[in-house]
Structure formats: structure tokens, C-alpha cells
A and B are shown apart, each in its own frame.
Chain A
Amino acid sequence: MKHLLTTDGLAEDAATAILDTADELKRTLLGREVKKLPTLRGRTVITMFYENSTRTRVSFEIAGKWMSADVVNVSAGGSSVGKGESLRDTALTLSAAGADCVIVRHPASGAAHRLAGWLADVGTSVVNAGDGTHEHPTQALLDAATLRERLGGLKDRRIAIVGDVLHSRVARSNVHLLATLGAEVVLVAPPTLLPVGVGSWPVTVSHELDAELPALDAVMMLRVQAERMHGGFFPSAREYSIAYGLNEARLGLLPEGAVVLHPGPMLRGMEIGSAVADAPQSAITEQVRNGVHVRMAVLYHLLAGEGEQ
């Protein structure tokens, strides 16, 4: 594996290998005082974040450091990026400076693909840490790791993704990965927050959250971004919350053992009730913890082997 750009097209055995590695890493590190493995000693990992995201960047940084890679963080604000340097030039510069892997978050869909193309000759690996409204593959992998842990597996499990699917890279990555791993996915959203063309996705679509909840093994709540609330996608935050928010009453509709996920950051009281986020069904803090192990696993699969296979 050279790059991790999408879960669309990621083979089942490749995805499972990453998840298995993440599980092993988690077990290996459990209870250890020294949370550091020598595996990626001497490898340089650069994070390039063109959007603010403390949680994802920190998760990648910890993952790299626990694998003993040298991690350098570049943020758009404090670098030549802010001086108008193109993404291409920045990437080539960082690669020439010795990066073995570039982890990129960018507002343009496809930015990670472009980066991988520009860096094809120099052999630098690219990890997509979120590109526009396209994909966020490590988020889907950590969600899958969390669901595997809680549910024992994903085959034939029924999982709802609720909310702003149209603008969500988390939703796209999860749709593909969950389908690859054998889960049934149902998207629950108002029609205005579903993309035109969703009919070709390996999912079913619903506009009635209450009708779906009793048959679910897990429900994944998407963040509703503030700008959507003013963009006319739905009449009001109140009406959205009434129809699609996961409140305590709805939590009661879920079968026993069902899991609640949220990629964060949460808008408590909007798409998810505060008590719901803290309920035993909620796996939200496990998601964050698993995020580090999954990202360690991704770096392991990209950087530990002999490279191009």
C-alpha cells in the first residue's frame, strides 16, 4: 500500500489488515508505561492541514510519535502556504526536505489525489486526512474499528448514518467501507442534505429516523455545520433537531447493545442530546482512542514495509 486516499475501492482484505493491525497495536500498548514502538524510527511524517482540525491532527501526530517517526506539523496559517504558495509547490518542497509521508487535510475535494500524483516520482506516501466533501478514510477506519469492538463484527450489521450526508466526507468514507465490510447502511436525512445521484450508492435511504431506529445495530450521527443552518437546507435548527436529532426518547427506540457514534466535534442539543452523548451506548470517546491506533496501523502499512508492492 502506497497511499491511503479513499475507502472507495479499498479492498476488504486491505481494510481488514489495517483494522487487525490496529487491534494488535491497541492490545500491545494496553497498560504499558512506555507507549512507544521503534518501528518507524528514522521515517519522517509531515502533516499539512489547510483546515483547522485539532483532533485529527493531534491524533495523527500521536500515532506517528508512538511509532517513533519524526512528525513535523505544517499548518496553513504559519507557513509559505499563507503567502500564496501552491499546494503542489508546498508538497514538492516538503518531499524534497525528506518527508516519507505527507498527511493532508484540504478544503478541495481530490486534493490528496492530486498530491499523490505530484509525488509519484519521489515515492512519498500520501494519507488523506479529509479532502473537501469527498473522503476521510481514517475516520471511517476508526469508526469500523470501534464498531467491530462493540458489535463483534460488521457482517450483516445494520448501521444508520444520520444528517448532512451531502457535505460529509465522513459519510462517504463510511458508506464505502461499511459496505465493503458487509454491513447494511441506511442514510437518514432530509432530501436537501442527500446528494443527487445517491441512488447509485450501496445504501438505502430514509427520511424517518424513528422508523429506522428499532432495527439498527449502530447509529452514526453527523455534525450539522453552522453554515448549513443558514443555507436554507432545512427550515430551522429546531425543526431539524425534532426530526433528526438523537435525543433520549429516541435512544430508547434502539435495540439493546446498539452503539451510538459521532465523529465530533458534537453540537450537543442539536444533532445529539447531551445525555445521549454520555450514555453507555455512546462509543464517542472510544472512537477518539481507537483513532490513534488506527492511524498507527495506517502508518505501519504505508511505511514499515519495503514500499511499492
Chain B
Amino acid sequence: MAPRPRGATEPAAERELLSAGDVARTIARMAHQVIEKTALDSTGAIPPVLLGIPTRGIPLATRLGARISEFSGVDVPTGALDVTLYRDDLRRKPTRPLEQTQLPGTGIDDRVVVLVDDVLFSGRTIRAALDALRDHGRPRVVQLAVLVDRGHRELPIRADYVGKNVPTSRSEEVSVLLSDVDDRDAVLLGERR
């Protein structure tokens, strides 16, 4: 019953979609977009709360937050939101271990919450995240930031900030590598193993 280890598996035959430099540039661009859309550069603006969805959404949120602070001079609270307990596909897979949920001390009530994840695919993870958020508080606005949108949505969900749109087939796999948990920064595309 040992839970299956999770995380990016490198695709069998892979093609690099984003290099390490591309990843850094993409995150920087997304940071600017967040600042603009949340009017963070206006006086008295209340900074958004970035919540990363495990596993790679968490370092991604941290990096995005750091860039936003750097560009706007405003500290952005970041945290982690595990959605495992809210998933609708638990029964289709072996039991998953729970990941950490860590909300910033500011809380999320009446804040702009930006959910951060590495890849947007079916949209089911985000649906679960919206349910989880509801049990933790009542944000004013919820937005979504993803590094890669690979299409194939199964729910009426779209991202507010997209690093890169990648057309894929269902048989393909997109892997986001981040040096915080992997050996380097990259986004890879390959056949599902």
C-alpha cells in the first residue's frame, strides 16, 4: 500500500519546449501580468495571495511571488493548497499521499487569490482547488496562473495567466522540471510511457 511516488516523470522520447532561460523569462512575464491585472502598482493596493498547488505549483508560486515583489516592491504572501482530498478521481488511482497545505498568515478572506500550477490540462485539479478554497475561506476574486496550458479541458475553466500555450495530443505528456525539486529548469514534451 506504499503510495506511488509522485512528480514529473521525464517523457520517454522528449522534446524541450522551454529551456531554463525560457522558464525564467516566462515567469518574469507572468509576474508583470499579475501586477498589471491586480493593479498592484497603484497606491494602497492589497497584494494578491499566491497559492501553489503541489507538487510543482508550490516552488512556482514562490518564484512568481519573488518576481512580483521584485518588480512592484510589494511583499506578496504565498502558500500551498493541497487538493487531494477534493479530487473526483481518487477512486481511479492507488491511494495518494497528502501534500502540504499552508495558508499564509494573512488568510484568504476578501483577498485576490491566485492559484498557481505547472500544467493546465483537464481542469479537474483546479475544480478541486476551488472546492478546497471554499472550505478555507471566502476570497474576493480567484484567478489562475499556469506555466503551460496544454488544452484538452473537460470543465469550463480557463487560466488568467498562461506562460505558454502548447498544443498536444492526449497521448503526449508535458513535464515541468524546476530546479527546486528537479535537477534543472525545463519544460519537456514526449510520449506518455
Same complex origin of A and B: yes
A residues apposed to B, CB below 8 Å: 1, 11, 13-14, 17, 20-21, 24-25, 27-28, 32, 34, 36-39, 300-301, 304-307, 309
Assess whether B86 is in contact with A37, with CB atoms less than 8 Å apart. Answer: yes
Is A305 a contact partner of B82 (Cβ separation < 8 A)?
A: no
| Residues from 11 to 37 in B contacting A, C-beta threshold 8 Å | none
Given the known inter-chain contacts A304-B90, A305-B93, please indicate yes or no for A17 contacting B135, CB distance below 8 A: no
Q: Which residues of B contact A (CB under 8 A)?
A: 1-3, 82, 85-86, 90-101, 131, 135-136
24 A-B residue pairs with Cβ-Cβ distance under 8 Å, sorted by A, are: A1-B1, A11-B2, A13-B2, A20-B97, A24-B82, A24-B99, A24-B101, A27-B100, A28-B101, A37-B86, A38-B85, A38-B86, A39-B90, A300-B95, A300-B98, A301-B1, A301-B95, A304-B91, A304-B96, A305-B90, A305-B94, A305-B96, A306-B91, A309-B95
Give every chain A residue within 8 A of B98 (Cβ-Cβ).
20-21, 24-25, 28, 300
* Contact indicator A28/B85 (Cβ below 8 Å): yes
8 Å CB contact of B2 from A14, A25, A27, A34? A14
A32–B94 CB distance below 8 A: no
B82 touches A28 (CB 8 A): yes
Contacts of A25 in B (CB 8 A): 98
In the complex the two chains form, what is the Cα distance from A184 to B23 in whole Å? Answer: 49
Question: With a CB–CB cut-off of 8 A, which chain A residues contact B96?
Answer: 304-305
**Complex Cα distance A39/B91, Å?**
10
Q: Which residues of B contact A27 (CB under 8 A)?
A: 100-101
Do A309 and B90 form a contact, CB below 8 Å, given A21-B98, A24-B98, A37-B85? Answer: no
The residues of A that contact B82 with a CB separation of less than 8 Å are 24, 28
Report the nearest B residue to A25, measured CB to CB: B98
